[in-house]
A and B are shown apart, each in its own frame.
Chain A
Amino acid sequence: MRFIDNRLGRRPFLASAATAAGVAALRPAPARAAAKYTRYNVTSAEGQKMLGIYRAGVEAMLNKPPEHPHNWFRNAFVHLMDCPHGNWWFFNWHRGYIGLLEQTIRTVTKEPNFTLPFWDWTELPRIPGGMFDGVLDPTNATYLPFTKDLDTFTRFIKKPMNAYWDTLTPAQRKQQADRGNKTFEDVWTGMLSPSSPGDQAFAATDRARYLTRQNPALSPDVAADCTPEVVLGGLGATYFYAPDSTKKYQPVLSFNSIRTPNHNTAPGSTTWFSTLEGLPHNNIHNFIGGVGGPWTAPYGNMTNNLSPVDPVFFLHHGNMDRLWDVWSRKQRAYGMSDRPLPADERNFMTEAFRFFVGPDGKYITDAKAADYFSTDVFGYDYAKGTGEELIPKAGLLMAARAKPTQPTMADGVVRGNTATVTLRQVPAQAQLVVSVTVPRPAQGSTGDGRSFDVLLNLPPGVERVAANSPNYLAKVAFFGKHGAGHMHGKDEATFLVPLSRAKALANAVGGVAKLTISVVASQGSGPAPALTAVSVTAF
């Protein structure tokens, strides 16, 4: 049965994609070994059966003593102490985390065929009904002996967690220090967030989850972040992580969030979030816990890093993981890479994950990101869900060459508001982008006083042209507060402007083109800017 499901899941996708593209450029997806397990939609009959096993597993883990790594709260502390958010290890780390939980549920329930059901929140923008039954609801009375209030929770788990902390290796302590935790008290105090009640990770039983059986729906705003359009937008990324040369387009072209020095780097002002992490992931977490609704702090478990205390966490992240799998198969079906660029591969894959717990109850202190990159490590695939059927349509928009060429860049010689750039040997398939760095206009500039026209190869004596002129490239403009440049943190910003090959090479001699790029105030509404830098990149 599972094998048949797999074929049904994949065949329509490939057939539709080939039909839509109407070309022979599509490559059949590389054959994937038949998965041993299939993860099902929680609303399906198979998913409901799995949900029953999951409930038994959560109950078994709740009943483990707090000294046991399989205790339900101890498992949540793995997330609190080690989870990455707002960086490119987000999907990868969580694949390992939920995969190991799935294996643990098999162990504690003695159900060797258990698979974690996923919650397809696009199809069902409310908490699945079964998630209010018994221990699957963290406000259930079963939780009172552990989380009735902070004193109860402290008595229950602080001492065992402190004892665990004392066993950490130097390498583990180094990673905790990267998160700002030099002592166990730092971990505990961070969890309580005394200076900001809205960021407290601990949640007492009676407010552990703000959505209820009577009111299970996501708000219209959160549901809007779960629509096929948003999911398709996230799946439309063409790179696991786009080249640095794509500059401000990197967030749009990348499936993952920003590359950081390590997975413990906390989000901040320079962070950018991928669409899927930044929108549906964040909003569902927060709304279930009360943020964004008619409630006030302190909030529920799902709003912070002890979120795995709420069993819905794993169904939510099951869907996130499914979307990564959909994206990866889409990439391969179109002959595109689903991995980091070669220059990034080692950096990404060798990141150490030192806090996971295996199904045998032993800590895994030497895992690497590479260990959890593929679904093969856990031997599963997914039943069909939202996103998959939309990929062929999206694929038309982004069918890319199989092997992107290395970007090349030509720097311009800048004089005032004009730069000259010499292009040599532009690859036949390359796209060109002009990068223009412009100082921010004086404070108080409004409207078109903050916008500029970028012009190419103006004839002698001509200072500006209309937007329909072949010499007109684009309009660029500033927005936001003065003194906080978007790209560099300086009072300037870099804009990327497309340049067609035909325009760029119109006057080329022997394959060498000399371009003149000018920037003027739009509609003559101000002085021409003194450019900081200009370059042309060929992808």
Chain B
Amino acid sequence: MLSMCLAQGAVAQAPGDVALSLPYPQQDGDRLAVTIGVGPIGRQQIVVRTQAGDRLGTISLFGVPSGQSGGTYVIPVPPGAVRNGTLALRLTIIANGQPRPPTADEVTSIELLQTRR
């Protein structure tokens, strides 16, 4: 059976924090991923963690021409990262070794995708 696709957008909270709700109750076997669109961040990096501090992934551009937007990245989400139907993320951009919340020009989109066979 082809994957059943479940969609959800995201709602911003504090700068860099975002909570994404699963539209359907999570079941064993669900595949979860967040897709994150990034702007022209150059050699800066976007670190994606849960608000509990677990690392999910780091976006680092390779092969992207100077000044171009970085594209969209697919970051798998472990099932245990979702609590009570919500995935709470904290996004940080590392610029010159210093972390800070990314701007809307640096992280342009984020979505939680849930697929099931």
Contact residues of A with B, CB < 8 Å? 83, 85-86, 193, 195-196, 198-199, 220-222, 224-225, 229-230, 232-234, 236, 238, 246, 248-249, 251-253, 258, 266-275, 278-279, 281-283, 285-287, 291-292, 294, 296-297, 299, 303, 305, 396-401, 404, 429, 431, 433, 446-448, 450-451, 473-482, 484, 486, 493, 495-498, 539
Contact = CB atoms under 8 A, between A and B. Distances in A.
B43 A198 contact: yes
Contacts, number: 234
Given A233-B74, A249-B5, A480-B37, 6 more contacts: A249-B113, A258-B71, A268-B64, A273-B73, A281-B62, A539-B2
Q: What bracket does the count of chain B residues touching chain A fall in?
A: 35 or more
A31 B24 CA distance: 40
A35 to B, nearest CB: 30
A252 B45 CA distance: 21
Contact of A479 (B21, B58, B109): B109
Nearest to A222: B58
A283 B61 CA distance: 8
B59 interface: yes
A275 B6 CA distance: 19
B54 to A, nearest CB: 9
A399 B117 contact: yes
A475 B23 contact: yes
B68 A253 contact: no
Contacts of A305: 63
A196 to B, nearest CB: 4
A11 to B, nearest CB: 25
Which DSSP category, helix, strand, loop or mixed, fits chain A's interface? mixed
18 contacts: A86-B63, A195-B66, A196-B66, A236-B76, A268-B69, A269-B39, A269-B68, A271-B71, A272-B35, A273-B72, A282-B60, A283-B60, A292-B45, A400-B2, A474-B23, A480-B104, A481-B104, A498-B7
Given A282-B62, A291-B45, A224 B57 contact: yes
B65 to A, nearest CB: 5
Nearest to A254: B74
Contacts of A269: 39, 68-69, 71
Given A229-B76, A498-B4, A248 B113 contact: yes
Q: Among the interface residues B2, B39, B76, which one has the most CB atoms of the partner chain A within 10 A?
A: B2
A8 B44 CA distance: 43
Contacts of A233: 31, 33, 74-76
Nearest to B110: A479
B62 A85 contact: yes
Given A248-B111, A251-B72, A291-B43, A497 B23 contact: yes
B71 A270 contact: yes
* Minimum-distance CB pairs A-B, first 3: A233-B76, A85-B63, A271-B71
Contacts of B87: none
A258 B63 CA distance: 14
B63 to A, nearest CB: 3
Contacts of B5: 246, 249, 431, 433, 496, 498
Contacts of B70: 267, 271
Contact of B37 (A258, A275, A450, A486): A486
B31 A397 contact: yes
